[in-house]
A and B are shown apart, each in its own frame.
Chain A
Amino acid sequence: MRRKLNKSLTLTAAVLLAIGMPVASAFAMGAPTPASVSKVIPNKPITLRIFTTAPQNKVSQAVATVFEKKYPNVKVIVQATDFPDYAQGIQLALKSSNGPDIALAANAFSSKNGLTINLAKYSKLYGWDKIIPSTVAEQWKVTPDYKTMAGSIQVALPVDINIVGLYYNKKLLQQAGINTLPKTLSELEAALASAKKANLLPIQMGNSQGHASFLIQCIGQSQDGAESAAKWALGVSNSTFATTGNKLGAQKLLDWKNAGYIPSDVNSYALQDAVTNFTQGNGVFLNDGNWDAGTIDAAMGSNVGFIPFPGTNVVAIGGGDAFQISAKSKNKDVAAAFLNMLISAQAAPLAWSNGFLPVNVANAKGTTSLQNDILAAYKKISNANGIVSFNNNVTPSMAQTLTTTTQALLGGQMTVDDLINTVQADWAKSH
């Protein structure tokens, strides 16, 4: 009997081993903290591997060249993948024995199970908190259960900033008889009505991937204020999506669809289609982030401008690329030194020239009117401490939920209240 039991236990163990099931996992929760941190780079041959996405890799590569010059014993290898594939593979890469030293964070929660280290000690050592705006930094600090942002574990260092605002076509604005740029929601609405009257498409938009949710968030947080909106977007418990601002945002989205202010077949267009259409003169406004500034600038030149989204509060949806240090890296001090260079004043022009707004904007100067508009908008928003994390990052499924619900709202399949409740239900599952 005993022998039989032993045999079946052995068999079970063998089956579990065979299919690689980490039932009793060796991966602890939380992020390991290095015992000691140092600014000193050892004087021996070192290879630093960086996994990132295109087009961020251009900045990393440019900084790598400078870094290698400063530390000739260090060789930096930058490897890039497109974001969707990257996000799905990076955890396994970090878990593998030949993974990267530095990795672009897919999101704030993706490196749980101890895959990357807590950067808090390095942050203190280098004084990173003095450079990074707190509203951006807290998007990469999580609670020990990896479910809420604005926590104590610093999982990544943000290196550049994305802000979502309002692009406008200067010629079309004139054609619609709009002489001043809208500063409030009602001024924006009046401008949209004038554009419609002039037979122009007021707002260019694409929602096949859910980007109409930008409009809800922009209106919502400009009404509710950055502080309260950020709580929900960071996953702070007891927050709700059912705010006056968000309801107004969803209602305006629907009203503007019905009024013909946005394309009737908005669910068939992706954001990139909307960008292309906007650059071809189809649409007076475009609610989009500065990551498309390069494309828009190249196509429209001085005919395009950028402002923070009009509303009661000066706010913007904002985030950016952030880097993590692998728990398996043998050169964590070197990796930290590289991250420090990525956010240095020296690297800022390298980010800027590749279309990125560096976190270290002290010395950043635009070379085109659009770049200067974005810089001015960022400074205004930053001074008002108005950056709010992307709503779609708050849970792993939120991007999909926002896509599905905004499509349903615009397709007449869902009410404003249903949208608010469905979004809150997704949020409540994780927080």
Chain B
Amino acid sequence: MRNKGGRESIKSATTFIAPAFILYTIFVIAPWLAAIFFSFFNWDGIGEAVWNSYRNYIQVIKDPEQLQSIKNSILLIVFFSFIPVFFGLISATSISNLSAKSKIAKISRVVIFLPQVLPLVAVGISWKLIFSPNGIINQLLSLVGLGRLEKGWLGDFNFAIYAIGIVGIWLGIGLCSLLFSTGIQKIDKHLYESIQIDGGGRIREFTSVTLPSLRPEIRFAITITTISALSGFDLVYVMTNGGPGGKTLVPGLEVFRLAFTYQQFGQACSLAVTLSTITFAFILSVNKLLKDY
């Protein structure tokens, strides 16, 4: 009888899991395995594929363009992940200190989170206009008499990558602060009271209670923002298309170019596999560093 029940539950579990599992296999696992497979071939995407062993992977390191794209994306992690997490913590703590019913708290939450609901292409186009030679930044600079600082920000070798970074910060803060706000609401209020009784101030509350309690949320925030930094495509494609001179090239865009412009599907796949390996390694180390005690 008991045995039968077990079999029944396995059966129903299979029924529930199967649809998602099949779709996941077709649309995620199979293409992923295919990419690993293709990465060992010289293939233009249409014609005959020729076995190329591990040479595509050597090329990832030897080709300055591909290597530059990986370096750029690692720099972007700072802007898409670390800085938003830092400011997200500050904004979430500040908002939580306001009364939950206060209008300012509500408005702040909406305004900070708003960038998250916009499509990235629209975000890219808007920021491209802001940074353009006739854009609002240059207009403001000339308005306050700093016209000599005006430049085409996205075409500037020293600034273009930071321009992308600024958009990353703007995008990430909303997500991080929302995550942390929910986390803060779960923290037992008595912990704060005990700090107050001990005579501790806001900073003590933050370092001794808020920060340690938010460990899982911080881990989660770093994980997903890092993935978005490493796998980014749309923002760069729209804003700079990797320019000037490859200064903002990211692996996502380079994979696209290798496959569809240079007609090197095998090479594109090996860069994609390299990128996913880097992403995995990064996420594993973040999770190890920030694991729960």
Contacts and interface: CB of A to CB of B under 8 A. Distances in A.
- Bound pair (A, B): yes
Interface of A: 18-19, 21-25, 27, 29, 87-88, 91-92, 95, 112-113, 115, 207-209, 263-269, 396-397, 399-400, 403-405, 407-408, 411-414
B149 to A, nearest CB: 12
15 contacts: A18-B30, A21-B38, A87-B260, A88-B260, A92-B46, A112-B47, A113-B44, A113-B47, A207-B155, A264-B151, A265-B133, A268-B152, A268-B153, A396-B263, A411-B244
A404 B64 CA distance: 12
A75 B246 CA distance: 47
A267 B152 contact: yes
Contact of B46 (A115, A403, A407, A411): A115
Contacts of A21: 34, 37-38, 41, 49
B152 A404 contact: no
Contact of A209 (B30, B157, B241, B260): B241
Nearest to A25: B48
Contacts of B257: 397, 400
A81 to B, nearest CB: 14
Given A267-B244, A404-B243, A414-B245, A25 B154 contact: no
A22 to B, nearest CB: 6
B154 A396 contact: no
Given A115-B46, A268-B155, A269-B133, A396 B262 contact: yes
A276 to B, nearest CB: 10
B207 to A, nearest CB: 44
A384 B95 CA distance: 74
Given A266-B155, A267-B156, A27 B244 contact: no
Contacts of B262: 396-397, 400
A411 B157 CA distance: 6
A22 B152 contact: no
B49 A23 contact: yes
B48 A27 contact: yes
B157 to A, nearest CB: 4
A93 to B, nearest CB: 11
Contacts of A87: 260
Given A21-B38, A403-B243, A268 B154 contact: yes
B122 interface: no
Q: Interface size for chain B: under 10, 10 to 19, 20 to 34, or 35 or more residues?
A: 20 to 34
Given A19-B37, A265-B152, A268-B132, A404 B246 contact: yes
Interface of A, helix, strand, loop or mixed by DSSP: loop
B45 interface: yes
Contacts, number: 104
Given A19-B30, A19-B33, A397-B261, A27 B245 contact: no
B47 A269 contact: no
Contacts of A22: 47-49
Nearest to A397: B262
Contacts of A88: 260-261
Nearest to A20: B34
Interface in B41-63: 41, 44-49
A396 to B, nearest CB: 5
Given A263-B133, A267-B243, 10 more contacts: A25-B48, A88-B260, A113-B44, A113-B46, A267-B156, A400-B262, A403-B243, A407-B243, A408-B245, A414-B245
Contacts of B244: 208, 267, 407-408, 411
Interface string B224-250: 000000000000000011011110000
- 10 A-B pairs closest in CB distance: A268-B152, A265-B152, A268-B155, A267-B155, A408-B245, A25-B48, A113-B47, A407-B244, A407-B245, A19-B34
Contacts of B155: 207-208, 265-269, 407, 411
Q: Which of B44, B47, B246 has the most CB of A within 10 A?
A: B47
Contacts of A27: 46-48
Interface in B34-90: 34, 37-38, 41, 44-49, 65
A405 B65 CA distance: 12
Given A267-B243, A268-B132, A400-B261, A412 B157 contact: yes
Nearest to B157: A411
B206 to A, nearest CB: 42
A113 B244 CA distance: 34
